[in-house]
A = this chain, B = another copy of it.
Amino acid sequence: MIVVTLNEDADPAAVRRALVARGLWVETLETSGRVTHLAAVPPSADVDPGTLLAIPGVSDVAATPSRHPRVDAHPTAVRVGGVAIGAGAAPVLLAGPCSVESERQIFEAAERVARAGARFLRGGAFKPRTSPYTFQGHGARALGWLRRAADAHGLAVVTEATTPEEAGAVADIADLVQVGSRNMASFGLLAAVGRTGRPVMLKRGMAATVEEWLLAGEHLLVHGAPAVVFCERGVSGGGGSTRNLVDIAAAALLAHVHHLPVVVDPSHGTGRRDLVVPLALAAVAAGAAGVLVETHDDPGAALSDGPQALSTAELARLAAALGVHAPDERRARHG
């Protein structure tokens, strides 16, 4: 919020016009029936409060200080596992199965996603599941499979830690430690993940505001995370035709206003295989640095979230649509 104080002889309507002209939504404040202040409130565009002092009639400008200075100072692009993510870099494809289901499955998945042009292999070893009676992941041993599968195909690894205890083991093998949406505000977990010193991919909580999401990033940075890649994966709502409501504007806001590296997960976001590609394209058009998608060689047999997994052929189409290239092609083009 920004509050400007008016001079005694200011024309409040003129000052208001000048604020609106800068993209600010303005509320009028009165003292004894006279307009004395104007407040710029959300969803105002981003402006530097200092510049408002130049408006005739404005005597003073006060603003709420940022609550997340480390996030504000975060670079707009980062390099993780040898891959640049953020403004100026090519779109990054992070792909793989929802869960690591077996050593063989993840090796085959790595081969396929690498060939499609993905740079990161995803796959859950520790799975947060709504029901206690469904597959909860293979745990620690899946981490080794995941790392070796990725290494075999020149991929970086992103995988989730769901408790502080898991943070160390995950950080030992992951290039990017994922904090899931259900745990975005589990501050003990954020602290533990931050302390590992690994870059983090922070998914937005299902009911989190953008400000709460940025503050969760601040928790990570305060505790030692060297970098945070934000991941929009849909918030609750939307009325059921899609699994969640993908907030593409939030991704645009992080990319273009906060200048942060942000990716989008259209798989969880839509829950629909037939919408993953359009949403992935929308995300990148809006400024996202990449997309995180679920793939499976046999989606029907997936131990979790099969309906939203892309088949290998669909993954290839997505990669083509994004202009993402496999290593050989990359070499051929740039080498």
Residues of A that sit less than 8 Å from B by CB: 1-3, 5, 16-31, 36-37, 39, 41-46, 60-65, 67-68, 126, 128-133, 136, 162-166, 182-183, 185-189, 192, 205-212, 215, 218-219, 222-223, 235-243, 245-250, 252-253, 255-257, 269-275, 278-279, 281-287, 298-302, 306-308
Not counting A39-B64, A44-B272, A67-B131, a sample of 12 additional A-B residue pairs whose C-beta atoms are within 8 angstroms of each other reads: A18-B300, A21-B299, A21-B300, A23-B274, A46-B274, A131-B218, A237-B237, A245-B247, A246-B249, A249-B278, A279-B286, A282-B285
Q: Given A187-B128, A274-B257 in contact, is the A37-B23 Cβ separation under 8 Å? A: no
Q: In the bound complex, what is the Cα–Cα distance between A242 and B46 (angstroms)?
A: 11
User: Across the interface, do A132 and B218 meet the contact criterion of CB distance under 8 Å?
Assistant: yes
**CB neighbours of A300 from chain B (8 A):** 16-22
User: Across the interface, do B252 and A282 meet the contact criterion of CB distance under 8 Å?
Assistant: yes
**CB neighbours of A306 from chain B (8 A):** 17, 20-21
From B29, B45, B60, A274 is in contact (CB under 8 Å) with B45
Q: In the bound complex, what is the Cα–Cα distance between A245 and B208 (angstroms)?
A: 13
Q: Which residue of B lies closest to A68 (CB)?
A: B131
Q: What are the nearest 10 A-B pairs in CB distance?
A: A21-B300, A209-B239, A163-B188, A207-B207, A17-B300, A29-B62, A285-B285, A182-B185, A282-B286, A252-B278
User: Across the interface, do B252 and A279 meet the contact criterion of CB distance under 8 Å?
Assistant: yes
User: Across the interface, do A182 and B186 meet the contact criterion of CB distance under 8 Å?
Assistant: yes
6 contacts between A and B (CB under 8 A): A2-B29, A29-B64, A211-B241, A253-B275, A255-B278, A282-B286
Q: Given A39-B3, A300-B20 in contact, is the A209-B240 Cβ separation under 8 Å? A: yes
Q: In the bound complex, what is the Cα–Cα distance between A129 and B219 (angstroms)?
A: 10
User: Across the interface, do A162 and B133 meet the contact criterion of CB distance under 8 Å?
Assistant: no
User: Across the interface, do A1 and B19 meet the contact criterion of CB distance under 8 Å?
Assistant: no
User: Across the interface, do A241 and B253 meet the contact criterion of CB distance under 8 Å?
Assistant: yes
Q: Given A29-B3, A37-B62 in contact, is the A42-B188 Cβ separation under 8 Å? A: no
From B21, B60, B237, B273, A298 is in contact (CB under 8 Å) with B21
**CB neighbours of A257 from chain B (8 A):** 274-275
Q: Given A252-B279, A285-B284 in contact, is the A42-B240 Cβ separation under 8 Å? A: yes
**CB neighbours of A188 from chain B (8 A):** 126, 162-163, 165-166
User: Across the interface, do B281 and A42 meet the contact criterion of CB distance under 8 Å?
Assistant: no
Q: In the bound complex, what is the Cα–Cα distance between A136 and B190 (angstroms)?
A: 14
**CB neighbours of A164 from chain B (8 A):** 163-165
